[in-house]
Structure formats: C-alpha cells, structure tokens
Amino acid sequence: MPGAEEVYRLIRQVAPSFAAKLQAAAASSHNEAELRTQVAHHIQELADQFGVRLNPREEYTLAEGQADAVYNRVVIEYKAPGVLRPRQDGAVRSDLGHDKTAAAVAQMRRYVDGLSREQRRASDRLLGVALDGKSLVFARYVGGHWSVDPPLAVTPQSAERLLRALFSLSAGRALIRAFRPWVRAWVLGKSPYWRERTRRVARPRRKAVPESERVG
C-alpha cells in the first residue's frame, strides 16, 4: 500500500538518529521513569514529524498490572538502563535466561495477554517490547505460541524495527486518516484503484427504459 511505503521510507531515514537518541536517553537517565519520559518525547516528535496521531496511553491499568505504555497494539515495558542483557556476538545461547531480562519478558507477556482480553483483540495482532535504552526485546504470538526474540542492542536496525511496529498501518485503520493531507491526497487521488472507484461512484446511472418504450 503506498501509504505504508511512504511511512517506511521516512522511518528508514530517521532510524539512525532515533537509535542515537535512545542511547543518549539511556546514558542520561538514572531510572526507568526518566528513560520513559525521554523516549516517549522522542516518539511523539516523530509522530508530529510524520503527521500521525498515535494516542499513547501511559501507565495503562490492566487486571494484570500497569503497563508502562500502550501504542494502539504495541505494549512497551520500560526498564532502567542496562537491565536487559543483549546477546553477545558469537554467543551459543541468548540471554533470555538472565534473571532481570526473563522477568521483564514475563511482565511484558502478561500485559499483552491482558490487553488482548480487555480489548478483545487477537493476541497475534499485538506486540510486546521491553526497552531499557540500550537493548530491546520483541515478543509476540506466532501460531498460538509465544515467540520471544533474544535481546537486541539498540542500533539503527533494531530502532527501525521498533518504529515500524509503532507506526505500521497494520496497527489500525485510523492511521491512514491521520496522515498529512498531502499523503492522504496521494493515496486516495493518485492511486489507480481509487481513481477508478471515484469514477464509478460519480458516473450517473442510466435509467432503465420500459420494454414498451424501447426502439427497435
């Protein structure tokens, strides 16, 4: 879909600087709350730049506890800088077994399950992200089972993956309506599908002529 391609193009452009901001936030934050404030600000800056309305819900209360932030179908669980342990190059095993990382993943999974039940959304349409500014952990349902990726260091590539999840068109139908007017005009005006559909709607229907009045 053209709209998605445009958003992804912008994301690729800003991913390196966004990764640098995450790393800087981790370096300057003394705790989880300070990190969350800075990261939320940087995400909102990009939303304003893209012309997208994210409507984040911070400290969102669920039966399972209080999720740090919910962006439509993405649940972010913040941790103090350095709590998550990324996998080292060449390591035989991931560090999902690391106590604090495992606890963060378990907490994130509970919140995703709770959001699924509360909002009656299919679990495989939700994504959980644990973030400490230095590392990221992505988790989601695949084929009815949890799939948790090993912790990833914050890089332009992992930052781009996070931004794609936050700003993906698959996150909700309302996103296309929140694009800047020029993007919406491009999607709805220049798309051959929409041009043809518009012509069909605008084309007046021919009034049926009674058989007795037909000529020939």
Q: What is the mean pLDDT of the chain?
A: 76
| Identity of residue 131 | L
Strand partners, 58: 69
Confidence of residue 213 (pLDDT cuts 50, 70, 90): low
Whole-number Å distance between alpha carbons of 180 and 48 = 10
pLDDT score recorded for residue 183: 37
* Least confident span in 40-49, 83-92, 163-172: 83-92
State the pLDDT at residue 76.
94
On whether the CB atoms of residues 64 and 111 are closer than 8 A, the answer is yes
Give the per-residue pLDDT at 90. Answer: 45
- Which range, of 80-94, 98-112, 167-181, averages the lowest pLDDT? 167-181
Model confidence band, residue 207 (pLDDT cutoffs 50, 70, 90)? low
Q: Quick check: 141 and 115 in contact, CB under 8 A?
A: no
Taking Cα atoms as reference points, which of 149, 26, 126 lies closest to residue 67? 126
Distances (CA, A) of 44 to 37, 47, 56, 96, 143: 11, 5, 9, 30, 32
**Higher-scoring residue by pLDDT: 47, 196:** 47
Q: Which amino acid is at 122?
A: A
> DSSP characters for 161-205?
HHHHHHH-GGG-THHHHTS-HHHHHIIIII-HHHHHHHHHHHSPP
The confidence score (pLDDT) of residue 72 equals 85
Q: Which of 16-20, 116-120, 182-186, 204-208 tops mean pLDDT?
A: 16-20
What is the average per-residue pLDDT within 128-148?
A: 90
**In this predicted structure, what is the pLDDT of residue 67?**
83
The backbone torsions φ and ψ at residue 58, rounded to the nearest 5 degrees and listed phi first, read -95, 150
Burial letters for 36-59: b for 16+ Cβ neighbours within 10 Å, e otherwise?
Answer: bebbbebbeebbeebebebebeee
pTM for the whole structure: 0.71
Which one-letter DSSP state was computed for residue 84? S
Question: May I ask the CATH architecture of the domain 2-177?
Answer: Alpha-Beta Complex (3.90)
Mean pLDDT over residues 131-160, rounded? 91
